[in-house]
């Protein structure tokens, strides 16, 4: 019995009705054979190609010149000459700082409380930086200690005045208290500069230190008593608190 093949091969039929766009001309002698696959060229008609042709041609540059803006940037009429100085924009009034410094610099003349009613921290920061610089020239690095002590001293005086006035602080707040303590550091700055030329451990530096402490205490007591409510009634207690604060800074200079 003859075995049947596992599968039968269908006959190959060459259909002569090949579409026109798939027919290739018969290459002549010396011509290269046609490619194995040649995709049909798209027709330009809208029926054969539904997507329209998109042109990416860059148009020619026109002869018109672009507009020239001669005005200032931002549309405002101000110029650079009309701009305020940088220190005024930062809130630093150098004239006011100089007037406050002169009011404290005279040891026998009382400082004007109305002048210190407008508090600022630019002048105190300058005085504290100068104090630390003179201490650095003496071989002591006290920048952080000075800033920390002034902050603690301001909080201490603010708490004392709050307790004495029974919660009625008047025109004195914590910001103004820090400003007054910093401005009254000017005698301590002078003492720190003078101490560079004085012998250490002698009676002269102790006597001068006591004089500068009384100077700072007198100025700070007057300003705090005038700006705080019920300050005149407790001027002695305010003076004692100020004396303790500036005595610490004088000991920092002496030792």
The pLDDT of 90-113, averaged and rounded, is 83
pLDDT of 14 reads: 56
Asked whether residue 1 carries a pLDDT value surpassing 70, the answer given is no
pLDDT in tens, 166-203: 766 566 888 999 999 999 999 999 999 999 999 887 88
DSSP-derived 3-state class of residue 98 = helix
pLDDT of 246 reads: 97
- Greater model confidence, 56 or 154: 154
Rounded Cα–Cα distance for residues 254 and 20 (Å): 112
DSSP assignment of 12-58: P---S---GGG--PPP-TTPPPPPS--PPPPPSSTTT--SPP---PP
pLDDT of 226 reads: 85
Asked whether residue 240 carries a pLDDT value surpassing 70, the answer given is yes
Locus of tokens 């009309």: 82
Between the CA atoms of 93, 94, 96 and 101, what dihedral angle is there, to the nearest 10 degrees? 140
pLDDT of 35 reads: 55
pLDDT of 172 reads: 81
- Angle ∠(124,99,219) on CA atoms, nearest 5: 60
- Greater model confidence, 94 or 36: 94
In contact, 161 and 176? CB cutoff 8 Å: no
Rounded Cα–Cα distance for residues 19 and 126 (Å): 97
CA distances from 125 to 46, 86, 142, 150, 152 (A): 82, 18, 14, 10, 15
pLDDT of 135 reads: 95
Whole-model pTM above 0.85? no
pLDDT of 110 reads: 74
pLDDT of 116 reads: 86
């Amino acid at each position: 019995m003859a075995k049947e093949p596992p599968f039968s091969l269908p006959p190959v039929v060459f259909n002569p009705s090949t579409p026109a766009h798939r027919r290739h001309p018969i290459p002549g002698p010396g011509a290269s054979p046609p490619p194995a696959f040649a995709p049909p060229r798209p027709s330009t008609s809208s029926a054969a190609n539904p997507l329209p042709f998109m042109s990416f041609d860059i148009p020619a540059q026109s002869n018109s010149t672009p507009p020239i803006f001669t005005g200032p940037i931002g549309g405002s009429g101000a110029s650079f000459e009309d701009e305020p100085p940088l220190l005024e924009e930062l809130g630093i009034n150098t004239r006011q700082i100089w007037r406050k410094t002169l009011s404290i610099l005279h040891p026998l003349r009382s400082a004007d409380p109305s002048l210190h009613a407008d508090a600022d921290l630019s002048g105190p920061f300058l005085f504290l930086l100068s104090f630390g610089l003179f201490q650095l020239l003496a071989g002591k690095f006290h920048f952080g200690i000075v800033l920390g002590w002034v902050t603690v001293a301001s909080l201490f005086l603010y708490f004392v005045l709050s307790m004495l006035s029974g919660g009625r602080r008047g025109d004195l707040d914590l910001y103004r208290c820090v400003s007054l303590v910093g401005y009254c550091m000017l005698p301590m700055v002078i003492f720190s500069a003078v101490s560079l030329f004085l012998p250490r451990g002698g009676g002269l530096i102790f006597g001068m230190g006591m004089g500068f402490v009384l100077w700072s205490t007198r100025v700070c007591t007057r300003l705090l008593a005038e700006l705080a409510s019920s300050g005149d009634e407790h001027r002695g207690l305010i003076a004692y608190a100020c004396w303790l604060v500036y005595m610490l800074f004088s000991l920092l200079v002496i030792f």
